[in-house]
Amino acid sequence: MNRFLMDSRFQGIQPFENKVWLSSPTMHGDEQKWVDDAIQTNWVSTVGANINAVEEQMAAYVGTKYAVGLSCGTSALHLATKLAGEKLYGQAKPNAGTLQGHKVFCSDVTFDASINPVAYEDGEAVFTDTEYDTWNMDPKALEKAFELYPEVRLVVVAHLYGTPGKMEEIKAICDKHGALIVEDAAESLGAKYKLNGAWVETGTLGNYNCISFNGNKIITGSAGGLFLTNSKEDADKVRKWSTQSREAAPWYQHEEVGYNYRMSNIVAGVIRGQIPYLDEHIAQKKAIWERYKEGLADLPIQMNPWNPEQCIPNFWLSCMIINEDAMAPMVRGEQDYLYKSESGKSSPQEILDALSSFNAEGRPIWKPMHMQPIYRTNPFVTVEGNGRGRTNAYIKGSGVDVGADIFRRGLCLPSDNKMTPEQQERIIEIIRRCFL
């Protein structure tokens, strides 16, 4: 028997009959029409009208001149990162990455797909700490990173959970240091940001911009991604690389390494059917965030923050962070965890376990990249400077690490746009009981 169902704190709460998901696909019907259209017209390939429509409609929505349809957000990020590397350091040999021997400043609290392309291209990610205002890259930590590594010319920035980072500051710092930006807007499609007084979309804020249509994103094609740009030359290059780098010859002629990264016309059919519903999905996600904010208002927690003067998130995932003085003891190993229940307090793992017991899906905050075993030897920079080797047997305190703190105290709440207000009320009640 499930421990939480036996726990007197949760008396009277019933598990959900059907699972409430973190964020699952929401189909509307048009998707089937465009998939059928592709099949009936025999465009079951990586060319076709659905791909063209997705590219045109999304470029128009986001406000870039060009969009290139790719198999997923990760392939978009790979080609964006490669393009940046080639622009900065020249064309690499076929067996080498364009970033070989070079460091790249990277968002730290994000999905590893944001920054793995730096490794694909043989570069070294230098993780840059996070700020509390938006949970994104801290411009002050970025400034510190340039002090420590003035030779760096590339920055990879992600917008966490649909809330844009402080891009005005980040862009100004990058301009000052002559650095390019790869923007990972995978989670933030439809989020708006006020740049120098004008509202713009995320996906237009870097030199090379990417979005994702992964199954859990705000709109989906089951997979798929876009590279977004105002440069025809860059769009043409990414399209070429994504289709095996064919040259203009009657046979297969290659001067560059190629990839099979192009979007499928079937996947594009699903995305084409979803595009008209993007704004509706954002409105539903916003209502979810607001209901959590209201329903959890008197608990010792904060919702994931955003500044209405500066941005309008797409509210992809609603998240919360527990106040330090309301954190019950919790430790996490590499693959396991342990926590204690204490009156008036709780912990992310306790809340996630409680939600799961009642058949609802939450998730820990992305574990910061500088804490990941794979990247443990990569540099990490905080507002104080080098973030590695900060403890000292002879001195108290261990220095700031905002990403680690948000990971420790935060969690993602069920944010599915098909969740009913009644279901959300029950979820809020489960969370409230965790603090009894």
Q: Does 84 bind ligand PLP (CB under 6 A)?
A: no
Q: Does 212 bind ligand PLP (CB under 6 A)?
A: yes
Q: Does 184 bind ligand PLP (CB under 6 A)?
A: yes
Q: Are strands 319-322 and 410-412 parallel, antiparallel or unpaired?
A: antiparallel
Which of the stretches 111-119, 133-141, 341-349, 418-426 binds ligand PLP when contact is defined by CB under 6 A? 111-119
Rounded to a whole number of angstroms, the minimum distance from the CB of residue 212 to ligand PLP is 3
Q: Does 158 bind ligand PLP (CB under 6 A)?
A: yes
CA distance 355 to 412: 11
Q: Does 180 bind ligand PLP (CB under 6 A)?
A: no
Among 22, 67, 99, 113, binds ligand PLP (CB under 6 A): 113
Among 13, 54, 58, 72, binds ligand PLP (CB under 6 A): 72
Closest to ligand PLP by CB, 119 or 158:
158
- Cβ(184)–Cβ(111) below 8 Å: no
Tokens of residue 179, six digits? 């650095």
Among 225, 273, 348, 368, binds ligand PLP (CB under 6 A): 225
Find, among 188, 198, 203, 146, the residue nearest to 170 by Cα.
146
Closest to ligand PLP by CB, 13 or 275:
275
Q: Does 134 bind ligand PLP (CB under 6 A)?
A: no
Report the length, in residues, of the chain: 436
- Cβ(407)–Cβ(365) below 8 Å: yes
Rounded to a whole number of angstroms, the minimum distance from the CB of residue 214 to ligand PLP is 4
Closest to ligand PLP by CB, 211 or 296:
211
Among 187, 234, 350, 416, binds ligand PLP (CB under 6 A): 187
| Amino acid identity, position 414 | P
Closest to ligand PLP by CB, 82 or 433:
82
Find, among 317, 321, 300, the residue nearest to 214 by Cα.
317
In the chain, DSSP finds a helix count (H) and a strand count (E) of 13, 18
DSSP structural state of residue 298: T
Closest to ligand PLP by CB, 129 or 187:
187
Q: Does 74 bind ligand PLP (CB under 6 A)?
A: yes
Q: Does 108 bind ligand PLP (CB under 6 A)?
A: no
Rounded to a whole number of angstroms, the minimum distance from the CB of residue 359 to ligand PLP is 24
CA distance 342 to 115: 38
Closest to ligand PLP by CB, 63 or 215:
215
Measured from each CB, the residue nearest to ligand PLP is: 73
- Cβ(135)–Cβ(166) below 8 Å: no
Among 23, 64, 98, 114, binds ligand PLP (CB under 6 A): 114
SS3 label, residue 327: strand
Q: Are strands 410-412 and 385-386 parallel, antiparallel or unpaired?
A: unpaired
> How many CA atoms, within 13 angstroms, populate the side-chain half-sphere of residue 327?
19
Alpha helices in 296-330 (DSSP H): none
Rounded to a whole number of angstroms, the minimum distance from the CB of residue 192 to ligand PLP is 18
Q: Are strands 208-212 and 198-201 parallel, antiparallel or unpaired?
A: unpaired
CA distance 114 to 223: 16
Residues of this chain that bind ligand PLP (CB under 6 A): 72-74, 110-111, 113-114, 158, 184, 186-187, 212, 214, 225
